[in-house]
Amino acid sequence: MTEKKIEKLYVSDREIVIPGDVLAEGMSYLPSGRAMREDNKIIATSLGLTNIKGHVIKIIPLAGRYIPKRGDAVIGKITGIARHGWRVDIRCPFDADLPISEASQSYIDTNRYPMSKYFDVGDYIFASIFDISENRFIKLSTKNRPYRKLHNGIIIEVSPTKIPRIIGKQGSMIKMLKENSGCDILVGQNGWVWIKNDDPEKQMLMSKAIRKIETESHTTGLTDKIKKMLNTKGGKK
């Protein structure tokens, strides 16, 4: 008796799934993202959207907090000063540090100046994660451009799962946002977005636009909608 081989896909592309959903049966399918194999089944492991390419079934999460990865660009807030560097909150469960040696290309003379001259408690920075140790201690770097201290501006909080939409394909959304508002914008993978403009009302409009992108992330024609919003509101002034 030959064993019956089932090869079957149970979901279509861009479908919302939840943990435990059986996505496909058969050894030819491969799980990716928030999906796993259990025997000959592919199972979703979190709330997400299906993305099917051939036999690869990927689940893109629709919710969840930021989990740091090496190389990510993040926005952090200086929360403390220690001997070896600055303690930074990057909105994740783990402690992060900006070591003195990673802070700047130029020499930081801690004998001449207090460390708060460079980065003070409450300052925001744009930084990259250059190392995560085995016990999840995170090291940041602001050594290379565009990483740096963020002067003035405001920080708004969005869901980290919506960051790709705010950036857009090849950065198209963020480019449009900047061009149509005159605001400086930096986006951290950890879900913090920095907006800067001397006019607080422009900052307010931009934070509204970004919130709109966050809540309407899976709708079509979003770029045009946001563009219109920025231009009509801005035009009134």
Partner 1 sequence: MNNKENSNLKDYLSKLLKKKIREDGRKPFDYRKISVETGILSQANGSARVKLGDTEVLAGVKIGAGTPYPDGPADGTLMVNSELSPIASDRFESGPPSPASIELSRVIDRAIRESGTIDVSKLCIKSGEKVWMVFVDVYPINDDGNLFDIGLIAAMAALKNARMPKYDEKTEQVNHRELTKDKLPINEEPVMCTFGKLDGEIFVDSTEREELVMDSRLSIGITKKGNICAMQKGGEGTITSSEMMDMIKKAQELSKDLRKNL
Partner 2 sequence: MGGKSDKPLIVKGKRLDGRTAEELRPFKIKAGIIKQADGSCELEFGETKVIAGVYGPKKVLPKHLEENTRAFLKVTYSMIPFSTSERNRPGPSRRSKEISKVIKDALAPAINLEKYPQTCIDIHIEITNANAGTRTSAINAATVALIDAGIEMRDVVASIAAGKVEDQVILDLFQDEDNFGQADLPIAMMPRTGEITLVQMDGDMTAAEIKKAIDMCEKACLKIAKVQRKAIIDEYKNNEVKNNE
Give me the residues that bind partner 1 (CB under 8 A), please: 77, 79, 121-122, 124, 152-155, 200-201, 203-204, 207
| H/E run at residue 218 | none
Closest CB 63 distance from partner 2, rounded Å: 3
- Residue 183: CB atoms within 10 Å: 22
Q: Which of residues 176-215 bind partner 2 (CB under 8 A)?
A: 215
Which CB sits closer to partner 2, 162 or 202? 162
**Cross-strand partners of 53:** 56
Q: Which of residues 67-126 bind partner 2 (CB under 8 A)?
A: 67, 93-94
Write phi, then psi, for 106 (nearest 5 degrees).
-90, 165
Residue 198: closest CA among 153, 166, 162: 153
Interface pick for partner 2 out of 7, 8, 13, 16 (rule CB under 8 A): 16
Which CB sits closer to partner 2, 69 or 218? 218
Binding status of residue 34 toward partner 2 by CB under 8 A: yes
Interface pick for partner 2 out of 7, 13, 37, 64 (rule CB under 8 A): 64
Which CB sits closer to partner 1, 104 or 207? 207
Helices 222-235, 200-215: axis angle to 10 degrees equals: 160
Cβ atoms of 230 and 181 within 8 Å: the answer is yes
Name which of partner 1, partner 2, none residue 161 binds, using a CB cut-off of 5 to 8 Å depending on partner kind.
Answer: partner 2
Read off the tokens for 66: 């930021």
Rounded CA gap, 197 and 184, in Å?
A: 7
Rounded CA gap, 60 and 40, in Å?
A: 21
Closest CB 35 distance from partner 1, rounded Å: 30
Interface pick for partner 2 out of 2, 106, 111, 135 (rule CB under 8 A): 135
- Residue 103: CB atoms within 10 Å: 22
Query: Which residues of the chain form contacts with partner 2 (CB under 8 A)?
Result: 16, 18-22, 34, 43, 45-47, 61-65, 67, 93-94, 135-136, 161, 215-216, 218-220
